Amino acid sequence: MARIAVITHEFDVFERRRGPLLRRDSPYMLFDLLEELKRRGHSVRIVAGTSARPEADIAILHVDATVAPPEYVEYARTYP
């Protein structure tokens, strides 16, 4: 199955733990899509910032900003 990297800004909070059972949650629709992809056997890694470079078959740039900073766009271009 595919290895998926989701690139977020280093200050973004893509997911959090909520409720008495500390379930993972997110305000982003992409979170629900990724949960379904995991259920189907794909692996997903959230990458905060541009310092780490995990192996991945595909990357999704998800920066919560009107315009993505150029260094994040360049970083995302290093993935297929």
Domain assignment of residue 59, given as a range: 3-76
- Per-residue pLDDT band for 72 (boundaries 50, 70, 90) equals very high
What are 9-62's pLDDT values in tens digits?
999 988 887 777 777 878 899 999 999 999 999 999 999 999 999 999 999 999
pLDDT in the model for residue 59: 97
Per the structure, how many domains does the chain have?
A: 1
Residue with tokens 């998926």: 4
Q: How confident is residue 4, by pLDDT bands cut at 50, 70 and 90?
A: very high
pLDDT score recorded for residue 22: 73
* Helix or strand (DSSP H, E) at 33: helix 29-39
- Within 8 A by CB and 6+ apart from 36, the residues are none
Q: What pTM was computed for the model?
A: 0.86
Q: What is the C-alpha to C-alpha distance for residues 36 and 79, in angstroms, rounded to an integer?
A: 22
The SS3 assignment for 7 reads strand
